[in-house]
Amino acid sequence: MMVTESVPAARATRESGKQTRMALFNAATELFLEHGDSVSIAQICTAAGAHPNQVTYYYGSKEKLFVEVACAAVLRAGKRAEVDAADADTVGDYTEKLVGSLLGSGAPSVELFVEAMMMTGRRGELRDLISETLRTLHSSGETALLRTLIRTGWQLRAGIDVESKAFWSAIFGLVIQKTATGESFGYSLEEAVAVIFATLQIPDAVLNSSME
């Protein structure tokens, strides 16, 4: 006679699995943000109180875990930037706070995502995660830009989706330069903001417009 697992036991097993998966994700997030993808599976498992084979079981590979962590991190950074810029008085101030957040406290998360994007060039099976995250970033950017347009009457030079992509492309470009040059990275926040302004071609009249 076949013995089946009881419902409570099955539920407990699923819950234990969720907790292990989350523990691995949280440990990997902390380690990847600090050390990048040089972190080993053993280090992640030690921090999570898990076993190496559980990384494979729940995530398939360390690379997939890295990309999942990076995607979640950049989405959090994007939301945090919107919160940080919410009390801006003018469009110019809003943009400065947005960029300052992404290149300041949010920089490790953005850098991690850039690293993940580079990784998918070698691991095509991971591209869907990156593509979905980019779509979410661009969609959020479109929403924020639309709110600005409604408030100021700014006429775009291109479609709103193109402008949103231009913003994030500029952010990623600045982060790539910072990652590549390290201490020699020459952009101050003011210069980084100027790059964004130039990329989006926001006129002074709009920059000085009230966000009220």
The closest of 108, 107, 90, 100 to 193, measured between CA atoms, is 100
pTM of the model: 0.84
Collapse the DSSP code of 149 into the 3-class scheme (helix H, G, I; strand E, B; otherwise coil) and give the result: helix
Q: For residues 76 and 138, is the Cβ–Cβ distance under 8 A?
A: no
Residue 9 confidence (pLDDT): 54
Distances 37 to 6, 135, 143 between C-alpha atoms, Å: 41, 24, 32
Q: Which CATH architecture has domain 1-60?
A: Orthogonal Bundle (1.10)
Residue 8 confidence (pLDDT): 67
Domain 70-207 has CATH 1.10.357.10: yes
Mean pLDDT, 10 residues at a time, over the chain (212 residues)?
56 74 96 94 96 94 95 96 87 86 91 92 84 93 76 73 87 83 64 80 75 66
Residue 28 confidence (pLDDT): 97
Residue 6 confidence (pLDDT): 62
Residue 110 confidence (pLDDT): 94
Break the chain into its structural domains and give their ranges: 1-60, 70-207
Distance (Å, whole) CA 210 – CA 15: 50
Q: For residues 117 and 128, is the Cβ–Cβ distance under 8 A?
A: no
Q: What angle is formed at CA 114 by the lines to CA 186 and CA 93, rounded to 5 degrees?
A: 55
